[in-house]
Structure 1
Amino acid sequence: MPLRFTLRQLEYFVAVGEAGSIAKASEQVNVSPPSISASIAQLEAEFGIELFVRKHSHGLSLTAGGRVFLKEAQRLLSDADALHDVAGDISDKVRGPLSIGCLTTFAQLVLPSLRRSFENQHPDVRIRQFERNQGQLLEMLLRGEIDAALTYDLEVSQDIAFEPLMQLPAYVMLPEGHRLGGRDVVMPEELCEEPMILLDLPHSREYFLSAFRDKGLRPNIAERTSDIAMMRSMVANGFGYGVANMRPLNTLSPDGKPLVFIPMGGDLRPLIMGVALPNAEHRTQAMDAFVKHCRNFVGEQGVIRK
Structure 2
Amino acid sequence: MIALDDYHSIHESMDLRDLEYFLAVVEAKSVTGAAQRVHAAQPTLSHALARLEAELGERLLVRKARSPLSLTDAGELVAARARQALSAVTALKDDLSALRGQTSGSLRIAAIQSLSATLLPAALARLSREHPSVKPSVRTLAAESIARAVASGRADVGLLAGAPRSALRGLSVKVLFEEPLVALMRRSDPLARAKKLRLKELAERELLLVPDGTFLSDLVHEACGRAGFTPRIRLTLASAEALRETVRAGLAMTLLPEGYASPADPDLVAVPLTHPTPRREVLVVERGPGQLATPRAVAAFTALLGAPAPGRKRHL
| Pairwise TM-score range, normalised by the shorter structure | 0.7 to 0.9
1:69 & 1:277 partners in 2: Cα distance? 24
Opposite residue 261 of structure 2, the aligned amino acid is P
Aligned to 1:261: 270
| CA–CA distance in structure 2, aligned partners of residues 279 and 236 of structure 1 | 43
Q: From 17, 21, 24, give the equivalent of 1:12.
A: 21
**Count of residues in correspondence between the two structures:** 295
Structure 2 CA distance for partners of 1:153 and 1:67, relative to 1, 3 Å = closer
Match of 2:93 in 1: 84
Instruction: Write the letter of the residue equivalent to 1:161.
Output: V
- Please tell me the residue identity of whatever aligns with 2:203: C
- Greater shift, 66-75 or 275-284, is seen at 275-284
CA distance in 2, matches of 1:24, 1:83: 29
| Deviation sequence 1:246-298 (CA, Å, 0-9, x none) | 2433765xxxx822211112222544546443453787211221122223xx4
Shift of 1:173: 0.8
The 2-side partners of 1:143 and 1:48 are apart by 26
Give the match for residue 249 of structure 2. Answer: 237
Query: Compared with structure 1, are the counterparts of its residues 53 and 112 closer, same or farther at alpha carbon in structure 2 (3 Å cutoff)?
Result: same
2:30 maps to which of 5, 13, 21: 21
Report what 1:180 is aligned to: 191
Separation (CA, whole Å) in 2 of partners of 1:167 and 1:216: 23
Residue of 183, 187, 206 corresponding to 1:195? 206
Unaligned runs of 5+ in 1: none
Q: Is this contact kept in 1: 2:173–2:283, CA < 8 A?
A: no
SS at the partner of 1:267?
Answer: coil
CA RMSD of aligned residues (A): 3.1
Partner of 2:314: none
Q: Deviations over 1:72-127 (max 9, x none)?
A: 32332233333334334444321222221223223123323422431343333232
Matched residue type, 1:78 = S
Task: Point out the more displaced range, 284-293 or 78-87.
Answer: 78-87
**Do 2:123 and 2:301's aligned partners in 1 also have CA atoms closer than 8 Å?**
no
**Correspondence for 1:171:** 182
Shift of 1:215: 2.3
1:45 aligns with: 54
How far residue 7 of structure 1 moved from its aligned partner, in angstroms, is: 0.8
CA 1:202–1:264 in 2, change beyond 3 Å: closer, same or farther? same
In structure 1, what residue type is equivalent to 2:242? M
Which amino acid letter does the alignment assign opposite residue 100 of structure 1?
Answer: I
Q: Distance in 2 between matches of 1:71 and 1:139?
A: 14
- Of 243, 248, 251 in structure 1, the residue corresponding to residue 261 of structure 2 is 248
- TM normalised by structure 1 equals 0.81
Match of 1:235, SS state, is helix
Q: CA deviation at 1:52?
A: 3.5
Deviation at 1:188, TM superposition (A): 1.6
State the SS of the aligned residue for 1:173.
strand
Contact map agreement 1:161 1:279 (CA 8 A) in 2: no
User: Mapping of 1:15-164 within 5 angstroms?
Assistant: 15-55=24-64, 57-58=66-67, 60-152=69-161, 159-162=171-174, 164=176
Percent identity (aligned): 23
CA offsets per residue over residues 217-251 of structure 1, 9 Å max, x none?
21112222330111112222333221112243376
With the length of structure 2 as denominator, give the TM-score of the two structures: 0.78
Instruction: Measure the CA separation in 1 of the matches of 2:58 and 2:310.
Output: 56
Q: What is the aligned partner in structure 2 of residue 212 from structure 1?
A: 224
Aligned-partner Cα distance in 1 for 2:161–2:26: 32
**CA offsets, 1:151-186, max 9 Å, x none?**
45875568533153x554321011342232222222
Moved more, 269-278 or 88-97: 269-278
- Larger helix proportion of the pair: 2
Q: Contact (CA 8 Å) 2:144, 2:163: kept in 1 or not?
A: no
Q: Please, which moves more after superposition, 123-132 or 83-92?
A: 83-92
Q: CA deviation at 1:26?
A: 1.0
Check 1:202–1:85 CA distance in 2 against 1; reply closer, same or farther (3 A cut): farther
Partner Cα distance (1:20, 1:153) in 2: 26
C-alpha distance 139-215 of structure 1, shift in aligned 2 (>3 A): farther
Change (3 A) 1:273 1:52: closer
